Structure 1
Amino acid sequence: MAAIVERTPVLLLRPELHGTLGAVSSTHWLASASGMAMFDRGGNAFDAAAAAAFVIQVVEPHLNGPAGDAPIMVHDGATGRVQVICGQGPMPAAATIEAFRARGLRDVPGSGLLAAVVPGAFGAWMRLVRDHGCLRVADVLEPAIAYAEDGFPLLPKAAEMINAMASLFRDEWTQSAATYLDHGKAPQAGSRMRNPALARTFRRIVAEAGAAGADRTAQADAALTAFYEGFVAEAIDTYLATSTAIDSTGRHNHALLTGDDLAGWRATVEAPAVLDYRGHRVHKPGPWSQGPAFLQQLALLEGFDLTAMGFGSADHLHTVTEAAKLAFADREAWYGDPEHADIPLSALLDSSYTADRRALIGAQASGTLRPGSPEGRAPVIPPVLDHSAQEGHGWITQLANGIPTVLQQTNAKGDTTCVSACDRDGNMVVSTPSGGWLKSSPVIPGLGFPLGTRGQMAWLVEGHPNALAPGKRPRTTLSPSLVLRDGRPYLAFGTPGGDQQDQWTLQFLINHIDFHMSPQQATEAAAFHTDHVPTSFTPRQASPRALIAESDSFDPAVLAELTSRGHDIRLVPQRSLGRVCATGIDADGSVLAAASPRGGTAYAVVR
């Protein structure tokens, strides 16, 4: 990237990384190292990202797994095309609003078996390897198998989550106990954790892929068949057909998912949503994700001179926050699976519509949810239901909230993972894998992983774009970003954070473009977000006017000014908001990588 003068000063905790071969950035150091090892085998950025993602499924089980979800943004250096591989599995064929209402439910539980969707992550990554990679299935799965067999250091947050769920595992989800507990007790942070059942699952997939012959594509297809029609699907189908599991309702419920649902699904490839911002072409997943909210925020902010406001000023924080409120209000009213609902995406990104929306940003903080009326259509936002946690079991409180976080404080946020990679041939890829975490659902016997519960994000409200329906993708929060400049691959980035992903990554991009920070500086700069809009996870909580900011990172006078404008300022610990991971390609063809120091686990590697 061309050098930019007069950068906003940020004291770096991590170095600026540049190389000539390839770059990987992810939310776990072992994943980044494993991805980089693929270059030594003759692989490309796509092989590196897939290997890193499979390792993350092993070493961050509290945040994702093979049966989770993974939208993947791809720039193919040979064709110059940007595409989205959709690893968001749909609802089962039996999942109807009536089926949930017949169980006395007003919404989809955030845990257990009822919210299970078709596993999407494995299929998406294997399609990436098949269509864009250079290596075999065995190569990209080898590091994940090694860590599952030989062990890895258990992260503190993973240990904390296992401890919070230990009694549930022992008493109810016994396969989860066998997978995550050590002789019936929660393991300590830093202890050596293994998952031999998952290693056997991956080894069998590798064996069945190898049995398909020497052709790399045939091997990837065989791996997909093994997962979606073979022994993996059979194990899932057998378990779900014969078992119930307790969930946040306090009852034992059957699943709606079947083996037939898996057999009928494969990850699809589609065109991204696109917007130009100050000379940069920004690509996001479609409205089945929250990705277009990122683009709507950029469209609103292009009408303001953020650079002149100055980073960290009251005008800066106020303007970005108010733009987020408007964009995410539209998310609540208008986003959903475009294959099942009429989503007015073009109208939402239209310049005239944006200008009308921009005029709503005033001097004072808005305290109401204000979706727009694209094409004159009336918006509909379902009511935020009043959920009260059941008493009697600590794990019931944990299950009642669908985010992969141990609930100990009111500002706990959802979390997930991120993988980004690029290479000297112009290949670039980024994904935010999530779902199928250990808190979501019981481990499937013999497989070593649980199902995902993304179905909790669908509404049981007829006529809403995100209303639950058979075969329909629930609108997800997962939202990686890929940017071109002058028609060339430039940046690929993402962050954990549930509903906050497209606020924290938006700040990363405007930090770079508007405040002239380097990518590493942009990951480390002070962060903030608003909780104004209801969360996508049960119990869909909202805090109107709330502006969450990292403590000791902003001038107290700025925070006082924001308070006078009507913002409800809430401080959280320093360096606690987001874990942005990014890779990029300079104008001279060299590669770069950046990783936020927040959380202490994300690492970037270049060569």
Structure 2
Amino acid sequence: MSFTTRPTLRGTFGMVSSTHWLASQSAMRLLELGGNAFDAAAAAGFVLHVVEPHLNGPGGEVPAIIATANDPTPQVLCGQGPAPQAATIEHYRDLGLDLIPGSGPLAAAVPGAVDAWLLLLSDHGTRTIREVLEPAIGYARNGHPLVAGATDTVALVNDLFREHWPTSAALWLTDGRPPTPNHLFRNPAYAETLERLVQIAETAGPDRVAQIERARTEWRTGFVAEAIDRFARIPHRDSSGRDHPGLVTGDDLASYQASWEPPATLDWNGHTVAKTGPWGQGPVLLQSLATLSQLGDPKDLQLEQADGVHVVTEALKLAFADREAWYGDGFDVPLKVLLSPEYAATRAALIGPEASAEQRPGSPDGRRPAMPTQSKPPLDRDPSTGEPTVRADGRTRGDTCHVDVVDRWGNAISATPSGGWLQSSPTIPELGFCLGSRMQMFWLEPGLASSLAPGKRPRTTLTPTMVHRDGRFVLACGSPGGDQQDQWQLIFLLRHLAQGRELQQAIDAPAWHTRSFASSFWPREIEPAGLTIEDRFAPGVIEELSRRGHDVTVADPWSLGRLCAVGREADGVLTAGANPRGMQGYAVGR
């Protein structure tokens, strides 16, 4: 067996993989207390809000896919909040904006993460809200060693906080300086928010579900919603370089609830792969798998050679072009056609020996695709625009989180929490957190699949994955990384499910991604034929890709890919692996 940075974990009791070791261990604690995978994932989700505040927060969102022991049919948990009722194209145009800012109050959708975690706990968990929130409350009140990524992010937006976001400066700066890496950091306001939520929940009596539902109501209509409504009315600086108030109101929070829905699925290579619907980018992965299947057996793809990298990259470009033309909430998405073998064959026929620098959306059922007009990017980049852009050199500007859990009974979940980053919007002082900036993914042009409209969900990049074989759960996985999430997951699935590499081997293997489509994040940049690849690939491979017309940027050797994964083998053995890149993700289990 080839070298891996850590072993693939194996056991029979339970497995957790997440982007932060404290979240993984907090989830494992819930399993040890007798909780199931959903209790554990919810505990991890609330801990991630505390320990990775530059990567997600309670003002953000979370999509997830679950399978239960009683019914392994995958279900999608949608914790993506919609655009507020006042969020119209005309409103932004009247402000002189061509794009929704990448940070600040104007970019905030309705928060969805907390209600989604509580809905999961209510419908499928077994433990009380106090037991599940206890680790997060403890880390917020007593402190946690703040990772260097968070302190680096605070340093990046130090001037913005001091000059324009004083409530963020009060939380994150001491004497005008950011916190020190790996030293204890406390957020007493957020600890108090969670503790107050639990106390109010417990007024509903001893019934576990009644308590959780009382907490959901308080979040949507009580002290949290009231504080958000008040603070959102205050103008603050955003990526436009001007001050604007936000659009989220208490009424928006009161009218929103997280929900369950069926996934988009594809039967591929003896497996059924489940993703969110096309209100997110998840079907990009499914379309890419379908296209590659038209080109031969996926086990024959040479993923460390130029030909394999080229073919996978060109398939991804075609799928992302379709994302831009056809994916969106409240839009008539021709998903059945987009995932059909017949359509995949037409897309595969477009892949030639040279790299394409064109945007080539398809015409499912003969429909004419509509693509956005690319705006000229601003000259000055706003350091607060958060998630995700993975830069050409492989380094990230912000990122996201992920958690996977499988328990001994066969319950499993894949969840990708994000948004509400400390750098996305000013801190609401009495709550200890900020709103998100997911609305930057809408276009301010009418007639597009992802045009802005009140009540629509932004076409999110957050994209958990679940895989079944013969109707039984076998894999949950996901990755931070914005537009790169499905690209890195595609490579992982090809290596693990088609070519038989163990979880950790597939995670550790060198990665790449394309940049040749409009970024989902402000300022919506595009780099035709752009390809970023880890320099662990042989020099001859990189030279050949350049010869084929790819605009290659060589990234650091361990910089691309952020995979977490848990699995269940045919004999019932549970497995887990986690990404070593960034020195933060960990899997635990026994």
TM-score (norm 2): 0.98
- 1:406–1:582 CA distance, 2 compared to 1 (3 A): closer
Is the 8 Å Cα contact of residues 57 and 64 (structure 1) preserved in structure 2?
A: yes
Q: Which amino acid aligns with 1:575?
A: W
Once the two structures are superposed, residues 219-244 of structure 1 have per-residue CA deviations (whole angstroms, 9 ceiling, x without a partner) of: 11011111111110011111123x11
* Structure 2 residue corresponding to 1:282, chosen from 261, 269, 273: 273
How far is 1:411 from its partner? 5.8
Equivalent residue number for residue 345 of structure 2: 355
Q: Which amino acid aligns with 1:417?
A: C
* Structure 1 residue corresponding to 2:127, chosen from 122, 132, 135: 135
Is the 8 Å Cα contact of residues 61 and 158 (structure 1) preserved in structure 2?
A: yes
- State how far apart, in whole Å, the 2-side matches of 1:11 and 1:135 are: 40
How far is 1:452 from its partner? 0.6
Is the 8 Å Cα contact of residues 54 and 398 (structure 2) preserved in structure 1?
A: no
Once the two structures are superposed, residues 357-382 of structure 1 have per-residue CA deviations (whole angstroms, 9 ceiling, x without a partner) of: 11001111111010000111111110
Matches within 5 A, 1:237-316: 237-241=229-233, 243-303=234-294, 304-316=296-308
User: After alignment, is 585-594 or 106-115 more displaced?
Assistant: 585-594
- State how far apart, in whole Å, the 1-side matches of 2:394 and 2:500 are: 34
Is the 8 Å Cα contact of residues 326 and 333 (structure 2) preserved in structure 1?
A: yes
* Structure 1 residue corresponding to 2:148, chosen from 156, 163, 168: 156
Equivalent residue number for residue 542 of structure 2: 559
- State how far apart, in whole Å, the 2-side matches of 1:35 and 1:348 are: 37
Equivalent residue number for residue 177 of structure 2: 185
Gaps of 5+ in 2: none
1:365 aligns with 2:350: no
Equivalent residue number for residue 4 of structure 1: none
How far is 1:408 from its partner? 11
Matches within 5 A, 1:468-479: 468-479=452-463
Partner SS for 1:71: strand
Q: Which amino acid aligns with 1:25?
A: S
- 1:122–1:544 CA distance, 2 compared to 1 (3 A): same
- State how far apart, in whole Å, the 1-side matches of 2:492 and 2:390 are: 27
- 1:358–1:81 CA distance, 2 compared to 1 (3 A): same
- 1:414–1:501 CA distance, 2 compared to 1 (3 A): farther
- State how far apart, in whole Å, the 1-side matches of 2:292 and 2:530 are: 20
1:77 aligns with 2:62: no
Equivalent residue number for residue 466 of structure 2: 482
* Structure 2 residue corresponding to 1:574, chosen from 520, 542, 557: 557
- State how far apart, in whole Å, the 1-side matches of 2:507 and 2:151 are: 26
* Structure 2 residue corresponding to 1:66, chosen from 32, 38, 58: 58
- State how far apart, in whole Å, the 1-side matches of 2:383 and 2:517 are: 22
Matches within 5 A, 1:90-129: 90-129=82-121
Once the two structures are superposed, residues 419-473 of structure 1 have per-residue CA deviations (whole angstroms, 9 ceiling, x without a partner) of: 1001121100011110000110001120000001101000111111100001110
- State how far apart, in whole Å, the 2-side matches of 1:127 and 1:167 are: 38
- State how far apart, in whole Å, the 2-side matches of 1:17 and 1:170 are: 45
- State how far apart, in whole Å, the 1-side matches of 2:561 and 2:298 are: 21
Partner SS for 2:541: helix
1:403 aligns with 2:403: no
Q: Which amino acid aligns with 2:583?
A: G
Is the 8 Å Cα contact of residues 442 and 458 (structure 2) preserved in structure 1?
A: yes
* Structure 2 residue corresponding to 1:588, chosen from 571, 575, 578: 571
Is the 8 Å Cα contact of residues 458 and 467 (structure 1) preserved in structure 2?
A: yes
Identity %: 52
- State how far apart, in whole Å, the 2-side matches of 1:113 and 1:332 are: 25
Partner SS for 1:594: strand
* Structure 1 residue corresponding to 2:437, chosen from 432, 443, 453: 453
User: After alignment, is 348-357 or 27-36 more displaced?
Assistant: 348-357
- State how far apart, in whole Å, the 2-side matches of 1:20 and 1:53 are: 23
Is the 8 Å Cα contact of residues 389 and 521 (structure 2) preserved in structure 1?
A: no
Is the 8 Å Cα contact of residues 398 and 406 (structure 1) preserved in structure 2?
A: no
Count of matched residue pairs: 589
Equivalent residue number for residue 393 of structure 1: none
Equivalent residue number for residue 431 of structure 1: 415
* Structure 2 residue corresponding to 1:492, chosen from 466, 476, 480: 476
Q: Which amino acid aligns with 2:420?
A: G
How far is 1:410 from its partner? 8.6
- 1:423–1:410 CA distance, 2 compared to 1 (3 A): closer
Gaps of 5+ in 1: 1-8, 391-395
How far is 1:502 from its partner? 0.2
Partner SS for 1:72: strand
- State how far apart, in whole Å, the 1-side matches of 2:30 and 2:65 are: 19
Partner SS for 2:107: coil
Is the 8 Å Cα contact of residues 494 and 501 (structure 1) preserved in structure 2?
A: yes
Q: Which amino acid aligns with 2:496?
A: H
Partner SS for 1:598: coil
Q: Which amino acid aligns with 1:382?
A: P
- State how far apart, in whole Å, the 1-side matches of 2:21 and 2:389 are: 21
How far is 1:557 from its partner? 1.6
Is the 8 Å Cα contact of residues 17 and 585 (structure 2) preserved in structure 1?
A: yes
Once the two structures are superposed, residues 452-508 of structure 1 have per-residue CA deviations (whole angstroms, 9 ceiling, x without a partner) of: 110100011111110000111010000000000121110000001000000001111
- State how far apart, in whole Å, the 2-side matches of 1:388 and 1:403 are: 18
Equivalent residue number for residue 88 of structure 1: 80
* Structure 2 residue corresponding to 1:420, chosen from 404, 417, 427: 404
Partner SS for 1:605: strand
- State how far apart, in whole Å, the 2-side matches of 1:76 and 1:517 are: 26
Matches within 5 A, 1:229-240: 229-240=221-232
Is the 8 Å Cα contact of residues 299 and 494 (structure 2) preserved in structure 1?
A: no
- 1:414–1:542 CA distance, 2 compared to 1 (3 A): farther
How far is 1:42 from its partner? 1.3
Is the 8 Å Cα contact of residues 386 and 421 (structure 2) preserved in structure 1?
A: no
Once the two structures are superposed, residues 202-231 of structure 1 have per-residue CA deviations (whole angstroms, 9 ceiling, x without a partner) of: 000110111111111111101111111111
- State how far apart, in whole Å, the 1-side matches of 2:97 and 2:389 are: 24
How far is 1:305 from its partner? 2.9
Q: Cα RMSD over matched residues?
A: 1.5
* Structure 1 residue corresponding to 2:514, chosen from 524, 530, 533: 530
- 1:510–1:601 CA distance, 2 compared to 1 (3 A): same
Is the 8 Å Cα contact of residues 264 and 274 (structure 2) preserved in structure 1?
A: yes
- State how far apart, in whole Å, the 2-side matches of 1:410 and 1:593 are: 25
- State how far apart, in whole Å, the 1-side matches of 2:251 and 2:502 are: 48
Equivalent residue number for residue 198 of structure 1: 190
Once the two structures are superposed, residues 156-175 of structure 1 have per-residue CA deviations (whole angstroms, 9 ceiling, x without a partner) of: 11111101111221222111
Equivalent residue number for residue 550 of structure 1: 534
Partner SS for 2:383: helix
- 1:10–1:507 CA distance, 2 compared to 1 (3 A): farther
- State how far apart, in whole Å, the 2-side matches of 1:332 and 1:364 are: 23
How far is 1:402 from its partner? 4.3
- State how far apart, in whole Å, the 2-side matches of 1:278 and 1:19 are: 26
Is the 8 Å Cα contact of residues 392 and 532 (structure 2) preserved in structure 1?
A: no
